[in-house]
Chains A and B, each alone.
Chain A
């Protein structure tokens, strides 16, 4: 099955696409999809003038694509680890490819940003809503990818999907707490 068919089936017939990905494990396709997702977000932000702190240049665009790939890799690794801990078998490579395919949804952001710029220029909340909507859609596809790759139910897939996010929030809270304690200690030293 060609890459074009895999992509088509991912949105049209996901079980067939998941079967195909399980057999061929197209990691390169996953990488490409993550990069396309990153570039799409970058271009959409550029159209809406919300690129800060980046500027509209090639280096920033490449950085964004690399960031998307890196977060995709980290995210896949984390999800796979969680599944392994739970004793559920599945391929990490095919999960990566499926996650990349889920990120393709961000390609929608570019035409949407163009339309928003035409219809409601300068409307921050509309742009934010559009981005949130696409983000939620991407999350939905990610959950479905977990479901297809590990043959688990929807509820379990959604719970697993949120584990990395919860871990991130916990890690941030931990860092914040450590920073606050350190600052408090230095403040006490400063006034004494």
Chain B
């Protein structure tokens, strides 16, 4: 039998002191190297996240990410569907502020070189429409990015107003557009109130404080006041279109009597630039942004809004009664760039 030498038996029993100390030293050095590499990668990650964020913060011109391998050039897609109001300022609300925020976020997204605004709206309140109009113009100027409006079924009144802020307008031949004008819906339910024995008796600080009240007929003086406001808002509408579309006032005014146009008629009248579909809009956007080849479309859903929409649709707690709900549909008063349309 061969006897095992003592030094070979070492690792199987107790390792010598110097060997343990050596192993510890090696482990510590290796760990130090790993920690060093980790800290380096953290620093690199911080630099990348700050310098070239993806869809988080502002991008810089010509900044194509790390080693020039950034995101591909794309066309952003933002949908504006429904009546335009300033209903809420929470991020998941639907309204002019949120749409403006989404347009800005899309412009800030890395790789997005042009934006398509998919508009399907009969317009909305004057303030909300003007908010969107000026925000679109601001984004265009700030980011030097072309914005193309694509009309869906209806892009009338305020829907057309916001499109005028874009570089180009693409419409379907059958899109309903136009309806350039202002409306102040004043209902009078005095007869109904008298039937149910309801009488309104407001205490006012001035004779016109309850102007537009629905419990009494409108006076001639009140009508004149409202008309002057409407005329002023109408002039603002015309100025916005004239500025946005570079259209002379004398050419625009005869078209702006409140009538609606089909997409084909609007093209003939010079209110839209092209007849086409979503592909036409994408190609046009790519062309204006000088994107080589067929551009990819980036749709960025607002997950919070989607979630809140889902919640809102299934939310019955604190819901209005059917009567309140129906009443709310038609009785939103105020100055509107909105096509009332068939209900």
A residues with a Cβ closer than 8 A to B are: 2, 4-5, 7-9, 39-40, 43-44, 46-53, 55-56, 107, 110-111, 113-114, 117-118, 121-122, 183, 186-187, 189-190
Interface string of B22-60 (1 = CB under 8 A from A): 001001101110000110011011101110011111000
The 8 A-B residue pairs with the shortest CB-CB distance in the complex, in nearest-first order: A49-B54, A46-B49, A4-B31, A186-B316, A43-B45, A111-B41, A8-B27, A110-B41
Q: Pick from A2, A49, A53, A186 the residue with the most CB of B within 10 Å.
A: A49
In the complex with contacts A7-B31, A114-B41, A121-B70, A56-B53 CB distance below 8 A:
yes
B166 to chain A, nearest CB (A): 26
B307 to chain A, nearest CB (A): 10
Q: Report the minimal beta-carbon distance from A46 to chain B, rounded to whole angstroms.
A: 4
B56 touches A5 (CB 8 A): no
Contact (Cβ within 8 A) B49 A43? yes
B59 to nearest A CB, angstroms? 12
Q: 6 A-B contacts, Cβ less than 8 Å apart?
A: A46-B46, A46-B53, A49-B55, A49-B110, A55-B56, A56-B57
**A4-B32, A39-B42, A52-B303 given; A117·B56 CB < 8 A:** no
Q: Chain B contacts of A48 at CB under 8 A?
A: 54
Contact A43/B46 with A2-B28, A8-B31, A183-B316 known, Cβ cut-off 8 Å: yes
Give Cα A78–Cα B14 distance, bound, in whole angstroms.
Answer: 39
* Cross-chain contact of A122 among B50, B53, B111 (Cβ < 8 A): B111
Please, which residue of chain A has its CB at the minimum distance from the CB of B304?
A: A53
Known contacts A5-B28, A49-B53, A49-B56; A121 and B45 CB within 8 A of each other:
no
Would A118 and B69 count as touching, CB distance under 8 A?
Answer: yes
B49 close to A56 (CB less than 8 A): yes
* Smallest Cβ-Cβ distance to A182: which chain B residue: B317
* Residue of B30, B53, B57, B110 most packed against chain A (CB within 10 A): B53
Contact of A47 (CB < 8 Å), options: B28, B38, B49, B317: B49
